[in-house]
Chains A and B, each alone.
Chain A
Amino acid sequence: MELILMAAYVLVWPVIVIGVLAVIIRAFVKDAREAKREGRQII
């Protein structure tokens, strides 16, 4: 049990990182589409 918990403690961070990455990519795509629709640069 302790081994599983320790392994989870090490491996949970990359999983959270993937989640954050997904949020950022989704938001970026939305920003890019909005900018294109409005005919302006994204930044």
Chain B
Amino acid sequence: MVLLMLLFFGGSLYMSIRISRKKENADGYMTGGGKIGFGISAASMTATWIWASSMYASATSGYTYGISGPIHYGLWGALMILLIYPFGRRIRKVAPKAHTIAEVMFARHGRSSQLMLAGSNVLGSLISLTSNLIAGGALIAMLSPFTFTQGIVAIAIGVLAYTLWSGFRASVLTDFAQVLAMLGAVAIIIPVIFFAAGGPDLFVTGASNLTPQQGDFFSSDAFFNQGAPYIAAVLAYAIGNQTIAQRLFAVREDLIKKTFITATVGYGATIIGVGMLGVIALYAGVQPMDGDVNNLIPQMAATYLSPLLICVFFVMIIGSLSSTADADMTALSSIMMADIYGQNIAGKKNANPKTMLLVGRLTMVGATAAALGFASMQFNILDLLVFVGAMWGALVFPVIASFYWNRVTNVAFSVAVIAALAAFLPVRFEWVDLSGGLGIVSDVLSVIGIGVVLALMSFGFFGLKVAIGVGAVSIVASAPFAIGFLHTYPVLSGSLVAYAVSTIVCVAITMLNKTRRFDFELIKQRTGEFDTAETEIMIETESAIKNAEAAGDGALAGKDA
């Protein structure tokens, strides 16, 4: 295991050194200059979206909900990437040289909108980083003589070492090698475990281990508990995740569609495939070690794979968590560089690219230390994740509307997000009794939320008229079934209420704006490269003045002596 880790992180470090420059460029550090080709961008998008937790969760879904479980996890996760691409093209069109979506929100609305989005991005990336360290530490503790703490420290140092100097450029290049390792391992491990566990006969011998719902491909249990909440979260996770936005701003503009489609198929097949290990475990009657379903995948590997293939499996998991962890580090650093330092402290015109790079690198070190702290404390990140997910859900409509509708204002954006969060919390955590009239109010809002989600999905591909039609039909069609019933699923209801309230409030306040219209061309002027020829000249001049002053002081000091 030690040798494998050394090979993996040593190889990644070697690749990173090969492309490193003594003098890195701030824009390259954040987005690679915005001209990345299809091969690297597709590999990077796929590798980043596949994280260790998604592999574990898909297998858990297969084990818990049976044969449809992996589909209800992996398919909707894959659609997140696909459904965001039409919006991605629009975002790139209005802000071709931006680095983060929060930076674009600053250009569109102002500080409060930017900080809401940046804050949720920072929390999300920190949670993801922590979660990846925990997954790696647990795996190392299970498959090697090392402890959990030693495991998380080794992974954190390994990822930081190859990402720190070149940032995003190192992250995407190493993603290519990591995706080769991950996808290659998936292609080998799934059939090997399937046949080792009994092959097709397993579906006969193990059929009695399944409940009727687990054996049903159209299980309502799987849909309402796993699939539906995930569909509701599809747009929220894609909009709220800076790692996706960063790759959107990095890929060559004409390659966005190809990249997103390839990543959709790659992610879907990999995660659904790994989820099949949970289905196989269910048929084989495997009991999760210590009752923890997160142990299922390592347990299946340890039971059915040869020592050589266990090494391949180990590389698959380490690859998945490293590729996402380095993406989280670069996402955090670009938010601190562009949104906090670039836009809020120095200002776009006065931002010094050298200082930006320092801010980015210090952020990576700080974020890694924080994630290590959370991981070692076994900090319960689940509640925080639910909250961040809700915040992203509340942001979806205001963010998307801001890119298309020139009447949306900063007040409409900010009030809509806060109102949606205020409505989400009591529903999601059942702080109020939903069995009476409030339950009906929650259901009505949830039904509107269904309409909003499906309308937004259609809007990206087919435009406003189709979207309004789809939204209206969904509301009418779902109302008779959902009202009086949906509030019994608080996870789903909470998300849908957040969508509905943010949309209603945002539209209502926007309609009050009768006079002001936003010119989208302004976004291009207000966002853009930090490392330009102008800033280069400015820095060189400042440096020359400082040197001259220092030389003068030295000469003076000499005289005094």
Contacts and interface: CB of A to CB of B under 8 A. Distances in A.
Interface of A: 2-4, 6-7, 9-11, 13-21, 23-32, 34-35, 41-43
Contacts of A21: 179-180, 183-184, 187, 266
Interface of B: 19, 32, 36-40, 42-43, 46, 67, 169, 172-173, 176, 179-180, 183-184, 186-188, 190-191, 194, 199-201, 203-204, 262, 265-266, 268-270, 272-273, 276, 279-280
A24 B42 contact: yes
B43 A24 contact: yes
B279 A10 contact: yes
- Residue with the highest number of chain A CB atoms closer than 10 Å, among B19, B190, B200, B272: B200
B265 A20 contact: yes
Contacts of A11: 190-191, 194
10 contacts: A3-B204, A6-B200, A9-B276, A16-B265, A21-B183, A21-B187, A24-B43, A28-B43, A32-B39, A42-B40
Contacts of A17: 183, 186-187, 266, 269-270, 273
Given A23-B262, A24-B39, A18 B187 contact: yes
Nearest to B35: A43
A31 B40 contact: yes
Contacts of A30: 37-39
A10 B40 contact: no
B190 A13 contact: yes
Prevailing SS type, chain B contact patch:
helix
A6 B276 CA distance: 11
Contacts of A26: 39
B269 A13 contact: yes
A35 B19 CA distance: 13
A9 B276 CA distance: 9
B273 A14 contact: yes
B276 A10 contact: yes
Contacts of B179: 21, 24
B270 A10 contact: no
Contacts of B188: 14
- Residue with the highest number of chain B CB atoms closer than 10 Å, among A13, A21, A34, A43: A43
Nearest to A26: B39
B270 A43 contact: no
Contact of B266 (A14, A24, A28): A24
Contacts of B43: 24, 28
B38 A27 contact: yes
A15 B319 CA distance: 20
Contacts of A10: 190, 194, 276, 279-280
B186 A43 contact: no
Given A7-B194, A32-B39, A43-B36, 18 more contacts: A3-B200, A10-B190, A11-B191, A13-B270, A14-B190, A14-B191, A14-B269, A14-B273, A16-B273, A18-B183, A28-B43, A30-B38, A42-B37, A42-B40, A43-B32, A43-B169, A43-B172, A43-B173
A42 B46 CA distance: 18
Contacts of A25: 39, 180
A14 B266 CA distance: 10
A39 B188 CA distance: 37
A27 B180 contact: no
A28 B44 CA distance: 11
Nearest to A2: B203
A41 B187 CA distance: 31
Contacts of B42: 23-24, 27
* 8 nearest A-B residue pairs (beta carbon): A13-B273, A28-B39, A27-B39, A31-B37, A16-B269, A20-B266, A7-B200, A31-B39
